[in-house]
Chain A
Amino acid sequence: MSAELDLAGRVVDLVRRLAGSAAQAEVLVDHTALALTRFANSGIHQNVADATTGVRLRVHVDGRTAGGSTTVVDEAGLTALVERTIAAAALTPADPGWPGLAPPAALSGDDAWDEATAQAGPDERALRVRAFVDAAAGLETAGYCRTVHWSGAFANSAGQAVAGRAAEAAMDGIARVPGADGVARLGSRRLADIDGAVLGGRAALKARAGADAVELPPGRYEVVLEPTAVADLLANFAFYGFNGKLHNERQSFAEIGAAQFDPAVTIVDDVTATAGFGVPFDGEGTPKRAVTFVGDGITTAVAHDRRSAAEAGAASTGHAWPGGSSFGPLAANLRLLPDESAPSAAVAGPVADGHTAALVSTMERGLLVSDFWYTRVLDPKTLVVTGLTRNGVWLVEDGEITRPVRNFRFTQSYPLALGPGAVLGIGGNAITPADSWDIFGFTGPSLRLASWNFTGGASG
């Protein structure tokens, strides 16, 4: 038994002792060790690490529900957590929508664990930074190298008791020339997959190819989006489109059974497969499993936790976000499947890889987009998003990259961009770009899309 599972079990027992055997309790224990080496102006300027164990408790007593958490995990801290959570439940109104506890169920899949990543120290991260900086060959660079590992456990008073562990490594950096940045980013379950020299070289190549960019008029352009940009589409689908709570409230575009996407589009969520990050159970102890949200262009499911599932008359899909009932369930490892038969071409210029190069070669006139920035939803129901391009845009004419283009602002419905007939090509290689804000596993290939609505140049 892991230390975390033992701790979770002790808290469940404590709830029973203090609130009686009829009390329902669920306990999530998470030990996270995160280390991040950050560089700017081609030198390491911030170098941080922390290791924290947190306990999250939710109780349902006499028809009332309350939650709480603590990082104070000695006997006194745990007792205080249990006492105040039980006391809080007694003072809240009845919770008629309580969905009950997750029943006992076994986990599927293996741990996403890599011992070398978990044990990596600051020197190993610094060496990758050194390689990135050196590969940029004199260009100014900035970014980070991160390693993180989780060891988690869940137990509830209905008998569910599971534990798991996972690791992630990531590198995200830019190289800069005056007026242009180039980016390379990659997340993986193994630090060994992170090659600072490869990433630094790619970022530098993009930066150099982005110099002396011209401003083009706004309007609708055909585009090839690289995986770094596609990840933003998937993130917004996860937060707003396939969120079962928003779907219940009719605030999502998703219509189960409707052909809302191009037939070439299939989107799944599966942390138990070879990609994706995190432990193999959700915040309510439900085992994670592969869920297809879009199959051959047809919307087939939305993500549910136990509460949104109960409201919808469905079953939890294993996407409860710890302490996130207000926001709703989140599929944090969405994966847009690549076209495994897609061709690859020689990598020339600033394209991310050979599959992207092949998509570019088929485009008569359009834009190659490296990255999106600061995207925000104007209306969750239509998922109209505004944001900017960043880290490299190029004009493509007759299949050739002809010139760098200054950044655009766009205002675009994401589901419509991938709607029936709108997807002109899907790359053959799905990439998981590192996410800077949280450990998400949004994974996708490059996409060639018929239209993207650029509403202004970055200069106004």
Chain B
Amino acid sequence: MTSGDRAVKVIRVTHFDAAAAAVQAALDAGARYADARVMHRRTESMSARNGEIEELNQDEDAGVGVRALVGSGWGFYAVPDISDAAARAAGTRAAKIAAASATVPGPATGLIPLPPASGSWSSPCEVDPLGVPLSEKAALLVGLTTTMREHGADVAESHYRVWDTAKWFVSSEGHRVDQRFRECGGGITATSIGEGESQRRSYGNQYGTRGWELVTGLDLPGNAARVATESRELLTAPPCPAGETTLILGSEQMALQIHESVGHAIELDRILGWEAAYAGTSWLDVRKLGNMRYGSPLMNITIDPTIPGALGSFGFDDEGTPAAMRYAVREGVWVGVLAGRDSASVAGLDYAGSVRSDGWARLPMVRMTNVGLTPGPHTLDEIIAATDDGILMETNRSWSIDDRRLNFQFGCEIGWEVKNGKRGRMLRNPTYTGIGPTFWQSMDMLSSEVTDWGIPNCGKGQPGQTGHTGHPAAAARFTGVRVGVTG
């Protein structure tokens, strides 16, 4: 069997019948609403370290997950078997689990109306990532680490990951949707080890709902020597000074800033307290939706799963809601949330469309799709040129934020002094900290150079789920930011 054969097999069959059987069984067992997702997923990951392939895994999983609503309680059951009989049994089990929820009932659960949808959707893909020969991909990764070692890295690592997922969704309200997602991405990391600390530079680490052309377009070979050299130089660079200054963030770090201090904060389940014990709540109060200032007038954040090739894109979410763009923040005012049909009903909203699960074995929940900035009026060069005294930081190294999504502290891999409109000397261990709305209201310059960054490891939920999210982001400038926090 060739790698190409693997890719073709995913789409040969459909599994609407199994999904429909699961839904019917849940209804027969007392559910007033049910839906089911049959999924078949193949993944491939490879990593290299210091000139050798470290790990290659090709994984496959398939199963059905059934969600049933009995009274006001949800139940969910999943099995790794997509036969009709197994799906029916799973539907029955989901309804029984839902019935047990009545022991400690919550408020009555409704679902906002959603016209039945039928349709198919596929992510764009020019070059099937599973069709690229393994030998070619291995040679790329090994070559990247060899180059980084030659340029001073003590530990040189490279990797790629591929997901090829087919989904069939059926609901008791008549939805019948199939989708196919081909996602991939990769990156490189160079680590230099000093006596007292280690320094890291990375590049790429970019993912999308695209084919192998995404990895090719990153030009990893063209950046391997640079990141290795920078990781070595960081060991002797002066530390980021402590104090309050003007901060310029590169677009990749802006993606994480958006993810942590906007994306999670606008999740309606968090706002309603559904995640209070673990992921946390939100500083946002749904009663202030539409009239509360989140950031400066430059801040326009959209929720847009329709962006071709971005990692959070889809045709329909995991409740069958068709993808649509809406604003979350418009000219600095909070105007929208990420919602599901049940959370929207509780909050009195009339839209959903942001419910996803990380696989057939997990309950769909409110998740980010593509949450990001619309372009600003400047360029990064203009921002630097307009800054008399500040620090430019790029590429996230650590991230921490409180359970209301207010107080954050982020560390970046690299910083540079900005003096009199020019980029100056390199700074090591740059960190910055702030409070979300205060920070966003200090944004006074924003670049037009937007990149659709993809984050493939967003954790949420119990049991834990790993989500794929997209974040259009561009470099931006913030004033009066505390930097240089150290231990």
Q: Give chain A's interface residues, CB within 8 Å of chain B.
A: 34, 36-54, 65-73, 77, 80-81, 83-85, 87-89, 91-93, 95-97, 121-123, 125-127, 129-130, 133, 140, 142-144, 146, 172-174, 176, 181, 249-251, 323, 325-326, 373-382, 384-388, 390, 407, 409, 411-413, 436-438, 453, 455-456, 458-460
Task: State which residues 15-68 of B face A: CB under 8 Å.
Answer: 47, 49, 52-63, 65
Q: Which residues of B contact A146 (CB under 8 A)?
A: 462-463
> Is B133 part of the contact surface with A, judged by Cβ < 8 Å?
yes
For the complex formed, measure the closest distance between the CB of B440 and the CB atoms of chain A, giving whole angstroms.
14
Q: Are B73 and A47 in contact (CB under 8 A)?
A: yes
> Is B93 part of the contact surface with A, judged by Cβ < 8 Å?
yes
> Is B291 part of the contact surface with A, judged by Cβ < 8 Å?
no
Task: State which residues 65-111 of B face A: CB under 8 Å.
Answer: 65, 72-80, 93, 96-98, 100-101, 103-107
Q: Which residues of B contact A385 (CB under 8 A)?
A: 487
Q: Which residues of A contact B482 (CB under 8 A)?
A: 456
17 example contacts (A-B, Cβ-Cβ < 8 A) are as follows A36-B462, A36-B463, A41-B274, A49-B97, A50-B78, A65-B56, A122-B97, A146-B462, A176-B276, A326-B47, A374-B402, A376-B400, A378-B429, A390-B402, A409-B402, A456-B482, A459-B407
Q: Which residues of A contact B435 (CB under 8 A)?
A: 459-460
How many chain B residues touch the partner (CB < 8 A)?
Answer: 90
Main secondary structure of the interface of A (DSSP, over half): strand
Q: Are A407 and B402 in contact (CB under 8 A)?
A: yes
> Is B193 part of the contact surface with A, judged by Cβ < 8 Å?
yes
Task: State which residues 257-286 of B face A: CB under 8 Å.
Answer: 272-278, 280
Tell me the complex Cα distance, A460–B442, Å. 15
Tell me the complex Cα distance, A376–B55, Å. 25
For B59, B98, B157, which residue has the most chain A Cβ atoms within 10 angstroms? B59
Q: Which of B134-142, B310-318, B376-384 contacts A (4 or more CB under 8 A)?
A: B134-142
Q: Are B60 and A80 in contact (CB under 8 A)?
A: yes
Question: B406 contacts which of A39, A85, A176, A458 (Cβ < 8 Å)?
Answer: A458
For the complex formed, measure the closest distance between the CB of A380 and the CB atoms of chain B, giving whole angstroms.
6
For the complex formed, measure the closest distance between the CB of A26 and the CB atoms of chain B, giving whole angstroms.
13
Tell me the complex Cα distance, A321–B276, Å. 31
For the complex formed, measure the closest distance between the CB of A177 and the CB atoms of chain B, giving whole angstroms.
13
Task: State which residues 465-480 of B face A: CB under 8 Å.
Answer: none
Q: Knowing that A46-B274, A411-B486 are A-B contacts, what are 5 other residue pairs whose CB atoms are under 8 Å apart, sorted by A's residue number?
A: A50-B65, A323-B57, A409-B433, A413-B487, A437-B459
Q: Which residues of B contact A373 (CB under 8 A)?
A: 280, 402-403
Q: Which residues of B contact A127 (CB under 8 A)?
A: 103
Q: Are A47 and B101 in contact (CB under 8 A)?
A: yes
Tell me the complex Cα distance, A326–B46, Å. 9
Q: Are B193 and A126 in contact (CB under 8 A)?
A: no
For the complex formed, measure the closest distance between the CB of A240 and the CB atoms of chain B, giving whole angstroms.
11
Given the known inter-chain contacts A46-B363, A436-B278, A456-B485, please indicate yes or no for A96 contacting B193, CB distance below 8 A.
Answer: no
Q: Which residues of B contact A50 (CB under 8 A)?
A: 65, 77-79, 361-362
Q: Are A38 and B462 in contact (CB under 8 A)?
A: yes
Q: Which residues of A contact B72 (CB under 8 A)?
A: 43
Question: A91 contacts which of B101, B133, B155, B398 (Cβ < 8 Å)?
Answer: B133
Q: Which residues of A contact B485 (CB under 8 A)?
A: 386, 411, 455-456
Q: Are A44 and B97 in contact (CB under 8 A)?
A: no
Q: Closest chain B residue to A460 by CB distance?
A: B435
For the complex formed, measure the closest distance between the CB of A459 and the CB atoms of chain B, giving whole angstroms.
7
Q: Which residues of A contact B401 (CB under 8 A)?
A: 374
Q: Are B276 and A174 in contact (CB under 8 A)?
A: yes
- Report the 8 A-B pairs with minimum CB-CB distance, sorted nearest first: A43-B106, A122-B100, A126-B103, A50-B78, A71-B80, A142-B277, A91-B134, A384-B487
> Is B13 part of the contact surface with A, judged by Cβ < 8 Å?
no
Given the known inter-chain contacts A381-B198, A437-B464, please indicate yes or no for A326 contacting B159, CB distance below 8 A.
Answer: yes
> Is B319 part of the contact surface with A, judged by Cβ < 8 Å?
no
Question: B142 contacts which of A38, A93, A97, A130 (Cβ < 8 Å)?
Answer: A93
Q: Are A44 and B106 in contact (CB under 8 A)?
A: yes
Q: Closest chain A residue to B82 by CB distance?
A: A72
Q: Which residues of A contact B135 (CB under 8 A)?
A: 91-92
Q: Are A326 and B54 in contact (CB under 8 A)?
A: yes
Q: Which residues of A contact B98 (CB under 8 A)?
A: 47
